[in-house]
Amino acid sequence: MTVLVIGEALVDVVQRPGREPEPHAGGSPFNVAVGLARLDVPTALAAQIGPDRYGDGLRWHLADSDVTLLELEPVPERTSTAAATLADDGSATYEFDLTWDPTGLPDPAEVDAVHVGSLGTALEPGATLVADLVLAADVIGVPVSYDPNVRLAVEPDPEVWRRVFEAIAPHASIIKMSDEDAAALFPGEEPADLARRLAADHGIVAITCGGDGAVIATAGAFASVPPADVRVVDTIGAGDSFMAAMLAWCATYDWPAADELDATELTDLAMYASSAAAITCSRPGADPPHTRDLTP
């Protein structure tokens, strides 16, 4: 059962107070792919990676986590980067230098599920190809998951992100977003109310709320889970680990339809995903857990 993840792969150059910059493999789709593979889900990542030192590091990281890399043409001159500056509480702000202009994407008919999100869904010209692939996957019955992962530092107009959401969400059966994404896309709505509203039309919807835990909903069920108790090193990649663990849980149960899940099962799903995110928060950079880390 292979999951195809599509989107940006980049290097997070992390600047911690009082330290030298530290490069870490990153990019939301990249992190989701690594997180999935580490949770024993066969995973392929379709991405553009440059022929440079950073690119070699990304390829090694993928291979080390057993992710199949599908390198997209054209090959960029240099690997994309994100300069991440950490605050004292471990939260990060980003400045990006990236390329997303693939000339083609893999066939969704050859995989069991597709995940898209973040800059890969918003930056043209590649975004149009991603939207077309999502539609094609939906038409043939391949499950699609979506994490908008809004990055206003790259595309500052929230209306662009709202249009992307309106184009992709109708074809996605699993949607995850952060409370910051929710505030940008749906200002003024409380996460619990928003999750319930979106789930009426979009299957399983989860919203992570940082120190307030997470909410998750379907059209017929709702659950709220508290945050895991963890010493936060930084929050880089935590949302991606939550997304990957959601998908791994769903893959384990053969991609259940939203109406097959009750509140107890939603709680189990959200707790599993929250545990994965908490482990990532306890480590520097986007370093998602393996299955053994989540097994008592």
Tens digits of residue pLDDT in 47-95: 999 999 999 999 999 999 999 999 999 999 999 998 877 676 666 677 7
pLDDT in tens, 88-132: 666 667 778 888 999 999 999 999 999 999 999 999 999 999 999
Please give the share of the chain, as a percent, with pLDDT higher than 70. 96
For 233, the 3-state DSSP assignment is: coil
CATH superfamily name and code, 3-290? Ribokinase (3.40.1190.20)
Query: Which pTM was predicted?
Result: 0.92
- The Cα 19–Cα 212 span in angstroms is 30
DSSP assigned state of 249:
H
Average pLDDT over residues 126-141: 97
- The Cα 271–Cα 265 span in angstroms is 10
**Per the structure block, which two tokens stand in for 233?**
């090193």
pLDDT in tens, 229-287: 777 776 777 899 999 999 999 999 999 989 899 999 999 999 999 999 988 878 876 78
With a cut of 70, say whether residue 211 has pLDDT above it. yes
> Are the C-beta atoms of residues 122 and 161 closer than 8 Å to each other?
yes
- The Cα 285–Cα 288 span in angstroms is 9
